[in-house]
């Protein structure tokens, strides 16, 4: 699934082509995404100017003159800016066509993505209103993690992947951040000291910033807006490296299941 760095990469790639442009029409070839695209969406969007494009967690938000368009890439979605006359492929379900005859094309082979219009403000939408802070924003810190984790028995990996605690820390980046902070992914969140949570907050910010700088991680379906793969996969320290040596201490990388997700950690330096 595209995670925060992949969504941020898509945002930075498409924004220069969209912001300030007027929408000519919405072409929907398949309404059957995670939720059906309402029939009146095309009418609501036609003629509106895209005033801004931003991200909240893994959602892309298109700020329009009236309301906001929410887009989620789902499990395998991707976005490309193309001439509107480009022949669509079998999984190219939606085109947001602009007046300059360019279009934003949404490709989603598994159809777990979503496209919904909502009146402003977007933050009041049910999908957004209960989300935790952005991990790269000022509200996220070790103190915040310490306050939220007291009394929590859940594994720290499960805790930081909870979007109500902090948004956008998906499985890959949770594994990498916990390794950088030298914290075992199965340790109870409520038993970790403030000092170690300070280190974890810094690790999360560092890992996500590095991943964004490298265009995200391409493991299966994700590619950047220009079709090029992300390169952070080449920098992974523990994810997918079972039984290989830890780059920090040389100990073996182990794999286990936490919350039905594969977890990778160093058996020596993470505790």
Catalytic machinery residues: 2-3, 58, 261
Distance between CA atoms of residues 95 and 25, nearest Å? 8
Q: For 8, phi and psi rounded to 5 degrees?
A: -65, -40
Distance between CA atoms of residues 132 and 110, nearest Å? 27
Distance between CA atoms of residues 158 and 264, nearest Å? 13
Would the annotation count 91 as a binding residue?
Answer: yes
Contacts of 152 (CB under 8 A, 6+ apart): 159, 188, 189, 190
Cα–Cα nearest to 10, from 205, 172, 229: 229
Pairing of strands 68-72, 59-64: antiparallel
Please give the angle made by the CA atoms of 141, 146 and 152, to the nearest 5 degrees: 135
Would the annotation count 153 as a binding residue?
Answer: no
Q: Which residues are annotated as a binding site?
A: 91, 110, 152
Q: Which residues are annotated as a binding site for DNA?
A: 91, 110, 152
């Amino acid at each position: 699934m595209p995670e925060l760095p992949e969504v941020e990469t898509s945002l930075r790639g498409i924004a220069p082509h969209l912001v300030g442009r007027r929408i000519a029409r919405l072409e929907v070839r398949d309404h059957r995404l995670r939720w059906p695209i309402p029939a009146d969406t095309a009418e609501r969007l036609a003629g509106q100017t895209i005033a801004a494009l931003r991200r909240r967690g893994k959602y892309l938000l298109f700020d329009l003159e009236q309301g906001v368009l929410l887009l989620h890439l789902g499990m395998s979605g991707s976005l490309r800016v193309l001439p509107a006359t480009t022949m669509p492929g079998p999984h190219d379900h939606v085109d947001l066509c602009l007046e300059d005859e360019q279009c934003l094309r949404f490709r989603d082979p598994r159809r777990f993505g979503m496209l919904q219009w909502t009146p402003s403000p977007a933050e009041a939408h049910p999908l957004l209103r209960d989300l935790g802070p952005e991990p790269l924003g000022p509200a996220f810190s070790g103190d915040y993690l310490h306050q939220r984790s007291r009394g929590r028995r859940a594994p720290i990996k499960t805790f930081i992947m909870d979007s109500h605690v902090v948004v956008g820390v998906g499985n890959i980046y949770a594994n990498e951040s916990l390794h950088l902070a030298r914290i075992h992914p199965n340790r109870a969140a409520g038993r970790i000291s403030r000092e170690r949570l300070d280190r974890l907050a810094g690790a999360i910010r560092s890992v996500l910033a590095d991943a964004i700088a490298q265009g995200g991680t391409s493991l299966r379906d994700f590619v950047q807006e220009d079709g090029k793969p992300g390169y952070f996969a080449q920098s992974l320290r523990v994810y997918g490296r079972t039984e290989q040596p830890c780059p920090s201490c040389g100990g073996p990388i182990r794999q286990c299941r936490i919350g039905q997700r594969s977890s990778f950690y160093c058996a020596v330096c993470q505790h």
